[in-house]
Structure 1
Amino acid sequence: MWGDTLLPDNLYPDPRGRENYWRYRRPDLRDKVFTASLEDAIRMAEQANAQRGKQVVRKPIKVPDRASFAYHAIGYIEWRVENDPRLSNKASWRNRCNALKRFGEAFEAIPIHKAKLADLRKWWESLTYHQQHARRAELNKFFNYLMAEGLCKLDSNPFTTADDRPRLLEKGKPTKKRQRLSLEAYWAIYEKADELGYEALQLAMGISMILPIKNGHTTKRRADICELRFDKHLQGNHLRKTINKSEAQRDSLAASHLSFNLTTHQQLGKLISRARELSIRNFRCPYLLSHIPKQRRTGKIKEHICQVIPDRLSDMFTEVRNATGLYISLPKNQTPPSFHEVRSLASDRFKRMGYNVKDVQHLMAHTDERVTQAYQAGHGIDYEEIAIYLDEQAIGREF
């Protein structure tokens, strides 16, 4: 019991008496202490109780052979992080690590010292241009590492870009054949997202449409949207964000620090209000985008079970887009629009609103005067207030 409220089985008040802290007894008799309101704690405990007794099939852990690429990929990843600690905070590094692990799995049966260029070429040519382009630089470093360790017996690095040595060649870049997203299709996908229970996707589509940023003349990228937090990026009546594309300049005065006044950006204010309500339903997730997943996991990528990561956002968009049936009859040589195309549509709407390229390109760089002023100030971050915006007339309706 908690006051007059009967608690579900296995849910207990915090033994230290802290407000909004609870203790849940797991099937292995270990306790999990967590923070939540009384209503959320009861709901979470009831859902956890419903899962008790269900057998979880665990795959046996497979230890890679010491002579395999997979085994030494683990050592290489550790070596890279040790020599460059900044890598751990980069989303691109996680993608490169996954690519190295998949490479090791592809050559599981071939020891490093027996690998031949012909073996690597067969695998390499099975990849698309974009896969090759994304993997080449890290694989080049990986093979330099293997050769320095005396593990690889190839005459030269197969992923080098030098033309005077035997190497693997990249495919030509294919012509882009992706369909553009029309305003009518945008709203059709937006409505279908509500039917499928993806309010987080609706919020992401809205934010990506109406917020201009310093990224060419387009709007917010997936990662920028997914990383928005109530506690970090909402300051008073402003939404403030350092754009990820300038992350390499984080310690530089040239980084892009943008501020959006919610009084000016009224559509944004409405979306944030919806995001707050959604967060309360989703166990007070601190991120603007939140969704209760079927598999509740946290880890290095997810800090909260209801956090929406960029890849999940893309998957939501693809699922909802396909459910609309808008692109069923698309020719085989064309692909339907992805979430990325929301940015292109937003760019077109800005153009139709009368903003020329220079209006938006003005958001791309700081002036020398501002950099000088920042040096003189020496305290805090100098955010640039964004004045251009899309209203309901430009996007066809309200959110």
Structure 2
Amino acid sequence: MSTFKAPKGTYDLLPPDSARFLAVREAIAAPLRDAGYGYIETPGFEDVQLFARGVGESTDIVSKEMYVFTTKGGDQLALRPESTASVLRAVLESNLHKGGNLPVKVWYSGSQYRYERPQKGRYRHFSQVGAEAIGAEDPLLDAELIILADQAYRSLGLRQHRILLNSLGDRTCRPVYRAALQDFLRGLDLDEETRRRIEINPLRVLDDKREDVQKQLVGAPLLRDYLCEACRAYHEEVRELLTAEGVAFEDDPKLVRGLDYYTRTTFEFVHDGLGSQSAVGGGGRYDGLSEMIGGPALPSVGWALGVDRTVLALEAESVTLDLPATTSVYAVPLGEQARKVLFQMAGELRRSGIATDFAFGGRGLKGAMKSANRSGARLALIAGERDLAEGQVQLKDLESGEQSALALTEVVAEIRRLLG
């Protein structure tokens, strides 16, 4: 055993389980590609100020959970705790928004890092697939993204996820609500840190998960009662568009999400089979984020779905994904000449699109056939010196146990026929 272990709160993704994670990533990405979203990849670390300004200094993510370090050159960097700020920075830096084709629609897949108390469904290193539509203010765009996420979940076989929906207003109506909420919160019995938060970002207090805080929040003013006419109409249109597409959602007036940059539409995907860590993904509109990080006004909307959480949701619903076999054919050579011939044949099968593995290391028939069965292959290709002298190989069906001789020239065609 190695002296070293994976850092606390992280995990290694290993086969065969990793195949499920890949399938989940692909299922989430597929509807996005079909809707005109292009793939984007950003560094795993950024200038610490990008997240401090964008995500918000009062958020737990920035104040408690970021991995921050100083480089040898003296730069202050942070491992990315989320990807929206990074994606927007990349779009601005490369001037994609100046191409005249707004919104810029991109999707990403990658790891995020947060220093949290590890528990099932909440890790210090986790994987997300996300989508961002940058540079357009349109209820159709908000609805499109929610519909695409719902479509991805349904394509995986999930049926018990729920969509929570809210509006956080904009710079016109939010300050009025903020003042009313602060007045209410200042009268509560809260600890010093939470009282500080009331002055910086009172909406964050609504997101406090502690039971004693939640009890005191009963009767708190709700943002929906303070929305201006424009925000109310915008939100109503998003709701109507989702309903017209048959996408069920629940209005949740207390939904604020854990990031400071959200405006107007905000939403969360939850799955009750996951216990306390019920959120599998979420997102919303972030019209002011570009200006926060020094860019022009670029109204935008996006979401991120947790790959780890989605896999847990599939387990909670006992959904088994139909995964392609990693190996279809396993080649078992017996003798030096057979090693060369079958190695060549394995290459030919792979070029024909047939997943083929090989018994490496010169093992005997018994050991090699054990490996063939463990590989999950449907067929085994076996050849010894006598077989080759007769211009043939043995083809064994590992499911039925049937075995027959096959001419060397017919191997590829026959295997393709058998595998359909």
Q: TM-score range by the shorter chain?
A: under 0.3
- Normalising by structure 1, report the TM-score: 0.22
Whichever of the two has the greater Rg, that structure is: 2
Structure (1 or 2) with the greater helix fraction: 1
Between structures 1 and 2, the one with greater strand share: 2
